[in-house]
Amino acid sequence: MRRTRRLLVALTAIGVAAVGAGTVEAEPLDREHYSGTDSDSFDDCGFTIDVEATFSGLFMLKEGRRGDPTPYVFDNYRYVNVFTNPATGASFTQSGNGLFKNLHIVNVEGTVYRFESIEVGRPFEIRDMAGNLVIKDRGHLRTRFSLDTQGDTDLENDVFIEGTFELVADNGAHPGFFIDFCDIANDLIG
């Protein structure tokens, strides 16, 4: 899970503007309601796992501040992933409903930026095949990490800087943030 959470943060964590009182908000560069499905298979945990994903949300991309090209991202999301061991038919569900946004973006050097982000809501929940709750995250997480933005607004080419991810605050209960995905997968469907 830790690897999955970090990947999720790295892919979605490209910032949101925090607007001060009395400030006029600029129109977003992009504002999109999204939804979709996806499927995949992987064997990172020592056996094949099939995953079926359903997701939806509201994504907004806002201009960087003071002429900086680094955009701010806002993502109000909902998802359900069903992980199945095709050899046994055993499965479990991972789901979430939350809000991710960056509070601060600071230029470190060149095109490398440090992001401070929050994630609130119920970003992570796991239920076994019978529907029993195994893990539930809720509350407020504040994280810090660095990305090389390549100096443009294209989120697809941003590079996560290894070793810069830091948990700044954990307000609530977030056991899913600290567990390993393969441990859960082996326990529930391995």
- The residue extents of the domains of the chain are 2-19+29-189
Tell me phi and psi for residue 6, to 5 degrees.
Answer: -65, -40
CA distances from 125 to 71, 85, 140, 144, 190 (A): 29, 19, 15, 23, 19
Neighbour tally for 95: CB within 10 Å: 18
Rounded Cα gap, residues 95 and 24, in angstroms: 35
Q: pLDDT at position 63, please?
A: 80
Whether pTM > 0.85 for this model: the answer is: no
Higher pLDDT residue, 164 or 67? 164
Q: How confident is the model at residue 161 (pLDDT cuts 50, 70, 90)?
A: very high
Name the token pair of 150. 């390549």
Contact 177, 165 (CB under 8 A): no
The yes-or-no verdict on residue 7 having pLDDT over 90 is no
- Model confidence at 71, in pLDDT bands (50, 70, 90)? confident
For residues 34-62, give the mean pLDDT. 96
Residues 100-109 have a mean pLDDT of 89
CA-closest candidate to residue 7, choices 186, 188, 189, 177? 177
- Residue 64 token pair: 């960087």
